[in-house]
């Protein structure tokens, strides 16, 4: 559990201030790391996938993949000039909802879990795209997807380590840490 807390703290420390997404240059690779909200959401998706997967390893791939696909769709909408309302609120809600699902130990069927993360992912992708340079949208989205997949993988690994070390209580504690980090980032801003 100490390692899990340390790794979670490291991920949070590496992120910039929540809701501050500027300064990422031309690389979508860096953008997911520029806001605590994006880091926490991607890590939470991975942690929740580890809770959902149990003996069904496919869920460990399906749920994070749904997030990535729908995030790319949201980015496409942003680059196309489509306007989405309440983007920052939806991003914050994604951290709170998925973190809460982890704390409570909610296990949804794969399709519903994919839909939950997919809806939120649209807003994440959109937020990334509207702040991106418009000169190279395809490489930017590719970098965005790669970085987010790395963050989701870190969450999946954290979840598996917590489950293996402490059991489901460890996973739920990770959900609580995600919620606490989201709350602290709001207070800091």
Q: What is the pTM of this model?
A: 0.81
**5-38 per-position pLDDT tens digit:** 444 444 444 443 334 344 445 567 777 777 788 8
CA 28/CA 145 separation, integer angstroms: 8
pLDDT at 134: 67
Specify the range with the lowest mean pLDDT, choosing from 6-20, 86-100, 137-151: 6-20
**30-59 per-position pLDDT tens digit:** 777 777 888 889 999 999 999 888 767 777
pLDDT band at 105 (very low <50, low <70, confident <90, very high): confident
pLDDT at 54: 74
CA 189/CA 187 separation, integer angstroms: 5
Q: Which two tokens stand for residue 57?
A: 């390893």
60 vs 115 pLDDT, higher one? 115
pLDDT at 26: 58
Overall residue count recorded for the chain in this entry: 189
pLDDT at 18: 38
**Please, where are the H alpha helices in the chain?**
2-14, 36-53, 59-79, 87-104, 110-130, 137-165, 168-188
CA 166/CA 101 separation, integer angstroms: 18
pLDDT band at 187 (very low <50, low <70, confident <90, very high): low
Q: Which two tokens stand for residue 112?
A: 């519903």
pLDDT at 25: 52
């Amino acid at each position: 559990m100490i390692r899990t807390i340390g790794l979670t703290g490291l991920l949070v420390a590496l992120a910039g201030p929540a809701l501050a997404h500027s300064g990422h240059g031309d690389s979508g690779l860096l953008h997911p790391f520029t806001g605590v909200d994006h880091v926490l959401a991607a890590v939470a998706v991975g942690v929740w996938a580890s809770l959902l997967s149990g003996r069904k390893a496919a869920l460990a791939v399906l749920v994070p993949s749904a997030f990535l696909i729908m995030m790319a769709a949201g980015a496409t909408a942003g680059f196309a000039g489509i306007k989405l309302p309440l983007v920052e609120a939806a991003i914050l809600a994604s951290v709170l909802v998925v973190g809460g699902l982890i704390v409570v130990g909610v296990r949804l069927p794969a399709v519903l879990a994919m839909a939950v993360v997919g809806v939120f992912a649209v807003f994440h992708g959109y937020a990334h795209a509207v702040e991106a340079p418009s000169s190279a949208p395809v490489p930017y989205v590719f970098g965005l997807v790669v970085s987010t997949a790395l963050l989701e993988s870190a969450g999946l690994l954290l979840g598996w380590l917590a489950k293996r070390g402490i059991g489901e209580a460890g996973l739920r504690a990770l959900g609580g840490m995600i919620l606490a980090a989201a709350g602290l980032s709001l207070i800091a801003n």
